[in-house]
Amino acid sequence: MVTAAAPPATPAHPPSIGGEVASALLWRLATSHGLRVADWAVEAAEMGELPVAPDILVAVRGSVRDIAAGLSLGGSAYVELDDDGDLPGGLLPLLAGPPCLHISLSTATCFSLDLAPLLCGAMVARGWLSADRRADAEICLHEAISNAIVHGNLDIHQGPSADAGAFDGFFRAVQVRLADRDHARRRVTVEAVAAADMLCITIRDEGRGHAGRAPTAVEQLEAKSGRGIRIMVELADRVTFTEGGRAAHLHFRR
C-alpha cells in the first residue's frame, strides 16, 4: 500500500510579503515560499495610510525610504532581490524564531546607505536595545558593515595605513571595485535576533574572510586604518567571528 506523504506543515499565519516590484514576481515568491501577499507602497506608508508593513519587504533596488518606512511599520525583513529574484535561503526559518530583523542588500546599495542608524533606531523602538546602548551598537554595526563591504565583498585587504597618498589610493580602489559588477552585486546581510537576555547582530559578507583579530600594537596608533575591530571589541559585550571571518557577531546584553 502506498501512502501519500504528509503535506508540509503550514503556519496558521504565514509571513506576508510585499514590495513595489512586478506583481508577477511577488506572486511567484509568495507561491513558492507559502507566503501571503500584502499591500505596500512607500508613499502610502509614509502618509500613514498603511497600518503595518509586510513581514518581508522586497525591492529590485534597495532604498533608504523603503527600509525606514518598512522598519517603522514593524517589518521584519528587507530583501534587495538578486539576479535570481529569490529570497535568501535562511530567511524563512529565521522569521519562525524569536523576534528578528533581516536586511539583505547588494554591496553597491549597502555602500550607498547609512544602514546602522536605521537599524539601531528600529531596535530601540522595538525594545531590543536600550537607548543608552544605542551609540555603542551603532558604531559597532557601522564598523562591521564597513568591513563586510570593503574587506569582505570588495576584497580590499590592504588598509590605507602608510601615508596620505596611500589613503587616497585606498578610496580609489573602493570606487573601482564598486564599479565592477561582480564585486558590487555581492550580498551584505545583517540579521538581528532579540533573545530574552541578549541581542545578537550578525553581519555576513561573501568575501574570502579574515582572521578577525583586533590590532593592539602601540605602534599602530598612527595607522590610518585597522581600528574597526578594536572599536567593536571595546564597545560590544561580545564580538565573535565565524564562517572564516565572513560572519561577525555583535552581542549586546539586554
Helix axes 115-125, 134-147, angle to 10 degrees: 140
CA distances from 202 to 25, 39, 67 (A): 28, 29, 18
Least distance between another protein and beta carbon 171 (Å): 5
Binding mask 157-176 for another protein (x = CB under 8 A): ---x--xx--xx--x--x--
Among 100, 119, 116, 131, residue whose Cα is nearest residue 231: 116
Cβ within 8 Å of residue 102, ≥6 positions away:
76, 77, 78, 79, 88, 91, 94, 95, 189, 190, 191
Q: Which of residues 218-247 bind another protein (CB under 8 A)?
A: 221-228, 230-231, 234-235
Q: Which stretch binds another protein (CB under 8 A): 3-11, 22-30, 102-110, 111-119?
A: 111-119
> What is the helix (H) or strand (E) element at residue 167, kind and residue range?
helix 164-178
Q: Which of residues 116-145 bind another protein (CB under 8 A)?
A: 117, 135, 138-139, 142-143
Q: Is 43 in the site for another protein (CB under 8 A)?
A: no
Given 21, 59, 68, 150, the residue binding another protein (CB under 8 A): 150
Binding residues (CB under 8 A) for another protein: these are 111, 114, 117, 135, 138-139, 142-143, 146, 150, 160, 163-164, 167-168, 171, 174, 221-228, 230-231, 234-235
